[in-house]
A = this chain, B = another copy of it.
Amino acid sequence: MNKRIAVLPGDGIGPEVMNGAVRVLQAISDCFDHEFSFEEGLIGGAAIDDCGQPLPESTLALCRESDAILLGAVGGPKWDSTSHAVRPEQGLLGLRKELGLFANLRPVTAYEPLIHASTLKKEVIENVDLLIVRELTGGLYFGKPSERRGENKELVVDTLVYNVYEIERVVEKAFQLAQKRRGILTSVDKANVLESSRMWREVVNRIAKKYPDVTVNHMLVDSASMQLIYRPEQFDVIVTENLFGDILSDEASMITGSLGMLPSASLRSDLVGLYEPVHGSAPDIAGENLANPLGMILSTALMLKFSFGLDKEAHIIEEAVMKVLNEGYHTGDLNLQHGKQVGTTEMVQKVIDAI
């Protein structure tokens, strides 16, 4: 198989974890005789430093021509004081929007060897296997107006906008995913307050008729944030709008003991996708060989599965990660007394050895 992969390391620990991911993919392509070509592009703060733009035209063009995109992380204090138009995050948000990657999949499973790293009790998390499907190109993230108003700019407005088709396509995706899993879909909204949530709920109920084999329930977002740590095993697929998904998926990451473990896939209707770890750029530990590369490595497994249909290869990466964790290796972000703490590059090498 011949595939073009756009590689956007970004900021902070992005380059380190990306380097590991590319090495893992090279190991896979060697074993299976695939041709993966990797082309690097600038994004976020790194791009701002280079050309003043968080999402340069060349990067966007590269992504448009690629079969899949790998992204490390964007942002950092260095660019925090810059004006709105040139914030690193705008690079990532722009890319999601420009490529129309509306469905962000964030799987959360408890890894047996990491059970003790979680702040939640063993019996609460050991059977967790859930998937958050977050809408990624609408809502408060992109709604206009988003501005200051009034004579003295004393008023500020952000806008939560959804078009019904934007809700439909992500909800449809979530139903399809639930169908292939345990068949339970929880739609999260704030329908007792927001008009957009009431529309969201209507769409879910309408589409539910097409999927009689999927059990649907609705949950308010405040309740969901509680249930996620009260009885997380009740969830199979969770579908929700952009900002709610942002908040709930970071919270859910605590089930695995560390945000550093979580991969994500951002998809649209064809096979192109963007794959990035859920964690951020972690500027405080950047360049110190401390970052957990597993979120990024597991993201490449999602790429192989969703964009390239290489389920076997994806499975081999996931198994390799499990094996290394089972051997007790972990990075410092995981709060584990036992086992052997290793750095980023050692962790990557362990995974490659296990492949």
A residues bordering B, Cβ < 8 Å?
Answer: 75, 84, 87, 89, 93, 119-121, 124, 140-141, 143, 146-148, 154-165, 190, 192-196, 198-199, 221-223, 225-226, 228-231, 243-244, 246-251, 253-254, 259
CB contact under 8 A between A160 and B158, given known A195-B147, A195-B148: yes
A123 and chain B: residue at smallest CB distance: B119
Beta-carbon contact of A195 and B157 below 8 Å: yes
A250 vs B306: C-alpha distance when bound (angstroms): 35
Partner of A225, one of B75, B143, B154, B250: B250
A334 CB to nearest chain B CB (Å): 12
A140 vs B157: C-alpha distance when bound (angstroms): 10
Partner of A161, one of B155, B164, B196: B155
A141, A157, A192, A223, most chain B CB atoms within 10 A: A192
Beta-carbon contact of B93 and A193 below 8 Å: yes
7 smallest beta-carbon distances between A and B, as pairs: A222-B250, A225-B251, A158-B160, A156-B199, A119-B124, A154-B164, A226-B250
Partner of A120, one of B161, B229, B243: B229
Contacts of A163 in B (CB 8 A): 154-156
Beta-carbon contact of A143 and B119 below 8 Å: no
